[in-house]
């Protein structure tokens, strides 16, 4: 973990060298977008969450204090179907994901929308699995799950054509509210130290200045640490997530 934190600090320090203000004031650009797509989350041989999701996206560039920086926020809302190999299925599960990124170009004074850039990102996840499922005549109760993760993101971009994104997990905390299932249980907090994501997005310019950005995203998180409770060792197992969709990005204002 300390090695990854050191790497992230190094990248962030290098990018800070380009945070000089321009001599001439540059108007800040704020870009908004909406998206639709599918989310397919799996814990291999254990469970799956799959269903549509909608997103709201914002990108800020040319901010006066940091004219080369790029700040982005993604908020995704999904309604998924939960399927488990051992506890049954549940429909209408709410999934909320947020991503917060700050990116700076690694070389020269170019904008973060062109070339190679890096920075820091925070992701959050929340699943509402409350409800009951029935499997082989046995009733099971659900619970809420949430996570907060710190990432090192890297982007290689051609502003008018494509963006290639990748990220390395620095540190994550995953909370399972098992007390909602059984009052004799305590809520479990697991830590995660290994994970990565990759995303490919193409930019299709529209005649009115807007753009359409189809994307494919893959995220992999490895097994978390284990926490002992009630004579058992609890962990958050490896997960694989595919997200496919398109962002309608409105012209910057």
CATH for 2-249 is 2.40.128.100
Are the C-beta atoms of residues 69 and 98 closer than 8 Å to each other? no
Are the C-beta atoms of residues 56 and 34 closer than 8 Å to each other? yes
Q: Which helix (H) or strand (E) holds 248?
A: strand 239-249
Query: pTM of the predicted model, to two decimals?
Result: 0.86
- Closest-CA residue to 115 (of 169, 160, 66): 160
3-state helix, strand, coil in the chain (%, to 5): 5, 65, 25
Q: How confident is the model at residue 10 (pLDDT cuts 50, 70, 90)?
A: very low
- Please compute the mean of the pLDDT values over residues 224-249 and round it to a whole number: 94
Indicate whether 2 pLDDT > 90.
no
- Please compute the mean of the pLDDT values over residues 86-107 and round it to a whole number: 93
CA distance 204 to 202: 7
Question: What tens digit of pLDDT does each residue of 97-106 get?
Answer: 999 999 999 8
Q: How confident is the model at residue 24 (pLDDT cuts 50, 70, 90)?
A: low
Sequence spans of domains, the chain: 2-249
Q: Which helix (H) or strand (E) holds 89?
A: strand 88-105
Q: What is the pLDDT, as a whole number, of residue 144?
A: 96
Q: Per residue in 42-77, is it b (16+ CB within 10 Å) or e — as a string?
A: bbeeebbbbbebebebebbbbbeebbbbbbbebbbe
Question: What tens digit of pLDDT does each residue of 27-81 get?
Answer: 788 889 999 999 999 999 999 999 999 999 999 887 777 778 889 999 999 999 9
Q: Which residue has the higher pLDDT, 40 or 26?
A: 40
């Amino acid at each position: 973990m300390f090695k990854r934190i050191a790497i992230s600090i190094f990248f962030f320090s290098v990018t800070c060298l380009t945070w000089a203000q321009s001599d001439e004031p540059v108007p800040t650009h704020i870009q908004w977008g909406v998206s639709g797509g599918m989310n397919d989350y799996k814990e291999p041989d254990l469970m799956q969450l799959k269903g549509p999701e909608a997103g709201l996206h914002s990108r800020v560039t040319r901010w006066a204090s940091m004219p080369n920086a790029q700040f982005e926020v993604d908020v995704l809302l999904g309604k998924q179907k939960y399927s488990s190999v051992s506890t049954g299925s549940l429909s209408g599960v709410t999934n909320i994901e947020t991503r917060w990124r700050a990116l700076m170009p690694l070389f020269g004074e170019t904008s973060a929308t062109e070339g190679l850039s890096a920075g820091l990102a925070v992701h959050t996840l929340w699943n509402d699995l409350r409800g009951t499922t029935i499997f082989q005549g046995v009733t099971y109760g659900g619970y809420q799950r949430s996570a907060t993760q710190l990432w090192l993101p890297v982007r290689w971009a051609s502003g008018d054509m494509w963006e290639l994104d990748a990220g390395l997990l620095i540190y994550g905390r995953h909370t399972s509210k098992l007390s909602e299932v059984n009052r004799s249980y305590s809520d479990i907090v697991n830590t995660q130290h290994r994970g990565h994501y990759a995303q490919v997005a193409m930019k299709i310019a529209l005649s009115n200045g807007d753009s359409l950005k189809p994307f494919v995203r893959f995220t992999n998180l490895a097994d978390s640490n284990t926490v002992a409770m009630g004579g058992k060792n609890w962990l958050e197992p490896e997960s694989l997530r595919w997200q496919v969709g398109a962002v309608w990005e409105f012209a910057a204002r």
